[in-house]
Structure 1
Amino acid sequence: MSERTTSSNWALGIVQALEMGGVDCRAIFRQLGLDYAALEDPDARFSQDGMTRLWQRAVELSGNPAIGLNMAKVVRPASFHVVGYALMSSRTLTEGLARLVRYQRIIAEGADLSFRPTAKGYELILAIHGDRLPPARQSAEASMAYALAFCRWLTGQPIRPQQVLFQGEPPADLAPFQQVFQAPLKFNAGHYALLFERADMDRPLPTANESLAQLHDRFAGEYLARFSESRVSHQARQVLCRLLPQGEPKRETVAQALHVSQRTLQRRLQDEGTSFQRLLDDTRRELAEQYLAQPNLTLLEVAYLLGFADPSNFFRAFRRWFDITPGEYRARL
């Protein structure tokens, strides 16, 4: 399968948060064709689109668009798979969040994290990608609420961010957001982010343990290697990202870069539930989202970075992906 997946550990945390909001997840899982029993299997994974549908259905049934914030109430290291324990054994939150970024794909492939120093502290930036469906904003809100609650739980300190950034319009009811984040909120931002004070991030963690941290690093690294590198679709996606700015990559060029024949590449992609054309289309779609969030890039530059020789082909593809033009998409951001 080349579709993005979410670990059962993270999915279980989401289910607990939704059930806390009065949603019957067992019934929704049945309706969506998801396996509720697999939540108890630490090696199971759920499709990204399955989780998006779960969020959508839960919001419909509960009538609560802020239901994702319940994730702040279900903090447990296991939700982050082995990464939670690696984070706990880190010396400081700075070190722990760097580990979270490194091993993020173990938890959920639909999210990209980055953690960087700023003039006044640190910024944890989150990007959520859809698979065939655009991502639910509740997914991003839940991730942010959980990350902050985990930092508070780990340090035993009531950490208050300098600011919390959200993409999209402000909700009708701000109260749940103010209650969970206890910080200045900014909506219609270019990306999702938590801005932290340097002192909060650099304070020693009570659970720090250097030898355990190394052990968890080994487990997480081995899991990630098994999980990613064995998938030719993952390797091909990396090659496509590298080649796209030079024009539309040919299948034979990608096969050569991976040291396999075109036929082998096609067969292995097929085994993983995709094809070269679909992978190219998906990669372009994801990169388009990322590039359009960067205001310094013109639409023409974005088209060329995605390997489109003719910008009108980019506009047509974009409308097919998102049902709106690139300009309208950027205006919403």
Structure 2
Amino acid sequence: MRASPSQAQDLGLPAIYLHLLAELLHRLNVDDQALLLRVGLDPARLQSTELRVSQSQASEFVTRAIIESGEPGLGIMLAQEMKLPLHGALGTAVMSSGNLGEALDLVSRYLMLRAPHLRVHHKQEGDRVVFRLVCDIDLGPLQGFILDTMLFGCITMGTQLLGSPLQGAEIRRQGNEPAYFQRFRQQIAVPVSYQCREDAFVLPRSALDAPIRFSDEQLAATSRAQCEEALQQLTEEAGFDCRVRRVIETSHPFPPKLAQVASTLFVSERTLKRRLQEESCSFQQLVDEVRLQRAGELLENTGMNLSQIADALGYADAANFTRAFKRWTGVSPSQYRNQQKQHAAEPAQVPAPTLERRAVSL
């Protein structure tokens, strides 16, 4: 029996995927920005390749996107938009592999980085190899969307890797063929069968030896190491504090209220506080950590003045922001900005400030 979403670890989904979906909705004449804000997500933060969005918010956004666009085939459409570099270190590792078999082995090993509750199981079937996708938990409305995106995305990925459509490939889907699929059948270069026993991507064994046109042995080794490190970090970030931080990082408006985060995670405010306390943490501490990180990004990468930055971080005025920033780092925001300019010219001189886990009085 599969676990329910409330029982399973929420490792989140990469924010960049929701950004791509929002762009797709915009082309379908849906107000994507308003939709993201209604779900409590900051559109500007979703462009990051590093941040992850909580599963509950991702599910709500996908559900609303399908309803408001009137397009149940959004998963297939998104699969056609997927470019390998958008998959982070895993995309780079796949692109630099020696052949298609190596690339698919990497996808199987590190799929958790991109779709945490999906697993890939291999099996031989005569002269073909079946890559079966299995979901650990019932993801509700998100499940069909993710399976569409992943399976049809394999076709997009294969074409990008080889420079031509995959020959002899097949997609198998469980359940009846949805009515919307007929509109997409001509766009898909491989046979698709429904009412199958599994959700799977099938290839001839001979295709596994097909060379990747971007193959780079040195880059492959480096990016595989990055995948391994990212997987370890993601596994370590399974605690409740990381789930809370993930919601804070992508929330609109910022900073979110405790009640808003508790509602997103389907817990009471009292439970949220207690569980964070059990992990030697507090809600305010996590908000302040995110604030410092965002403050550093804005000071380093934008020309925003202190009043604009203070407003973006939820402070009443620049003076309050300046006092808090100086408590965190020991320097004023202006000094920090100047130091970072010097640091860019002379990298060894000025380390970036960090915030230890401690309560900060604001």
Work out whether the TM-score is over 0.5: yes
Displacement, 1:99?
Answer: 0.4
Indicate conservation of the 8 Å contact 1:18/1:70, yes or no: no
For the aligned residue pairs, the C-alpha RMSD in angstroms reads 2.8
Using the TM superposition, give the Cα deviation of residue 152 of structure 1 relative to its aligned residue in structure 2, in angstroms.
0.6
Deviation at 1:130, TM superposition (A): 5.1
CA distance in 2, matches of 1:230, 1:195: 33
Conservation of the 8 A alpha-carbon contact between 2:98 and 2:212: yes
How many Å separate the matches in 1 of 2:233 and 2:172? 34
Please state how far the C-alpha of 1:43 moved relative to its aligned partner.
1.9
Pairs within 5 Å for 1:182-193: 182-193=189-200
After superposition, the Cα gap between the structure-2 partners of 1:20 and 1:68, relative to the gap in structure 1 and judged at 3 Å, is farther
Cα distance in 1 between the residues matched to 2:103 and 2:280: 33
Q: Does 1:222 align with 2:229?
A: yes
Query: Structure 1 residues 227, 173: CA separation in 2 closer, same or farther (over 3 Å shift)?
Result: closer
Q: Which piece of structure 1 moves more, 83-92 or 106-115?
A: 106-115
Alignment partner, residue 246 of structure 2: none
Scaled by the length of structure 2, what TM-score is found? 0.60
* Paired residues of 2:73 and 2:181 also in contact (CA < 8 A): no
| Bigger mean CA deviation after superposition, 142-151 or 130-139 | 130-139
- How far did 1:131 drift? 6.7
Distance in 1 of aligned mates of 2:207 and 2:19 = 29
Instruction: Select which of 45, 49, 58 maps to 1:38.
Output: 45
2:151 is matched with which residue: 144, 153, 168? Answer: 144
> Sequence identity, in percent?
22
Change (3 A) 1:113 1:27: farther
Deviations 1:229-261 (A, max 9, x none): 35468xxxxxxxxxxxxxxxxxxxxxxxxxxxx
Equivalent residue letter for 2:188: F
Quote the residue 2:212 is aligned against: 205
1:11 is the counterpart of 2:2: no
Structure 1 residues 214 and 12: CA distance shift in structure 2, 3 A: same
> Does 2:64 align with 1:57?
yes
Structure 1 residue 37 displacement after superposition: 1.7
Q: Shift of residue 82 of structure 1?
A: 0.8
Picking from 27, 32, 41, the partner of 1:25 is 32
In the alignment, which residue of structure 1 is the partner of 2:93?
Answer: 86
Q: TM-score, normalised by structure 1?
A: 0.64
1:55-134 pair list within 5 angstroms: 55-129=62-136, 133=140
Q: State the secondary structure of the residue aligned to 1:199.
A: helix
> Structure 2: how far apart are the matches of 1:5 and 1:272?
22
1:125 Cα deviation from its structure 2 partner: 1.9
1:129 CA drift (Å) = 5.0
Contact persistence 2:173–2:195 (CA under 8 A) = yes
Aligned mates of 1:181, 1:86 — CA distance in 2: 25
- 1:89 positional shift: 0.6
Instruction: Classify 1:180/1:143 alpha carbon distance in 2 versus 1 (closer, same or farther; 3 Å).
Output: farther
Q: How far apart are 1:149 and its partner, in Å?
A: 0.4
Matching residue of 1:290:
none
Contact 2:12 2:54 in 1 (8 A): yes
The one-letter amino acid of 2:54's match is: S
Q: Give the aligned residue type for 1:76.
A: K
User: Quick check: 1:114–1:126 contact (8 Å CA) kept in 2?
Assistant: yes
Any gaps of 5 or more consecutive residues in structure 2? 1-7, 241-273, 282-362
**1:294-309 paired onto structure 2 within 5 Å:** none
The number of equivalent residue pairs is 241
